[in-house]
Amino acid sequence: MGVSKAGFSHELIVEWNQDACDTVRENQKRGVKPVAKWPEVSQKDVRGVDFARYRGKLDLVAGGPPCQPFSLGGKHNGPTDSRDMFPEAVRAVLQAAPRAFIFENVRGLLRPSFGNYFGYIVLQLTYPEVLKRNDEKWQEHHARLEEYHTRGKCSGLHYNVVFQVLNAADYGVPQKRDRVFVVGFRSNLGLEWSFPKPTHSQEALIYSKWVSGEYWKNHKIPKADRPNVPRGLKATVARMEATLFKPPQKPWRTVRDAISDLPEPSEDGKILNHYPTNSAKKYPGHTGSPLDEPAKTLKAGDHGVPGGENTLAHPNGRMRYFTVREAARLQAFPDNYQFKGSWTESMRQLGNAVPVTLGYVVAKSVKEKLDSLGKKVVPIRKTA
Pairing of strands 289-290, 250-251: unpaired
Beta bridge partners of 283: 286
pLDDT mean over 5-12:
97
pLDDT mean over 172-195:
97
pLDDT band for position 114 (50/70/90)? confident
Would you say residue 75 has pLDDT above 80? no
Mind listing the pLDDT tens digit for each residue in 205-220? 999 999 999 999 999 9
Average pLDDT, the chain: 91
DSSP code string of 180-192: EEEEEEEGGG---
- Write out the E strands in the chain: 14-15, 42-43, 60-63, 100-106, 159-167, 178-186, 200-201, 250-251, 289-290, 311-313, 319-321
Would you say residue 89 has pLDDT above 80? yes
- Residues with Cβ within 8 Å of 363's Cβ and at least 6 positions away in sequence, in order, are 2, 3, 5, 6, 8, 60, 62, 102
Q: What are phi and psi of 310, to 5 degrees?
A: -95, 20
Mind listing the pLDDT tens digit for each residue in 189-203? 999 999 999 999 999
pLDDT mean over 272-296:
88
Q: What are phi and psi of 367, to 5 degrees?
A: -65, -40
Would you say residue 81 has pLDDT above 60? no
The CATH number that domain 2-198+356-371 falls under is 3.40.50.150
C-alpha gyration radius of the chain = 23
Mind listing the pLDDT tens digit for each residue in 300-346? 865 455 567 889 998 888 889 999 999 999 999 999 999 999 998 99
pLDDT mean over 6-32:
96
* The pLDDT value given to residue 112: 83
Indicate left, alpha or beta for 30 from its phi (over 0: left) and psi (-120 to 50: alpha): alpha
Sign of CA dihedral 100, 105, 107, 112: negative
pLDDT mean over 246-269:
96
Which fold, 200-352? DNA Methylase; Chain A, domain 2 (3.90.120)
The rounded distance, in Å, linking the Cα atoms of 274 and 345 is 15
- Residues with Cβ within 8 Å of 52's Cβ and at least 6 positions away in sequence, in order, are 95, 96
Would you say residue 100 has pLDDT above 60? yes
Indicate left, alpha or beta for 74 from its phi (over 0: left) and psi (-120 to 50: alpha): beta
* The pLDDT value given to residue 279: 73
Would you say residue 293 has pLDDT above 90? yes
**Which region among 7-21, 62-76, 130-144 has the lowest average model confidence (pLDDT)?**
62-76
The rounded distance, in Å, linking the Cα atoms of 161 and 115 is 16
* The pLDDT value given to residue 76: 42
Angle between helices 115-126 and 86-96 (to 10 degrees): 10
pLDDT band for position 185 (50/70/90)? very high
pLDDT mean over 161-190:
97
pLDDT band for position 383 (50/70/90)? low
What share of residues in the chain are helix, strand, coil (percent, to 5)? Answer: 40, 15, 50
* The pLDDT value given to residue 277: 82
User: What are the structural domain ranges in the chain?
Assistant: 2-198+356-371, 200-352
* The pLDDT value given to residue 146: 96
Question: pLDDT over 70 for what percent of the chain?
Answer: 93
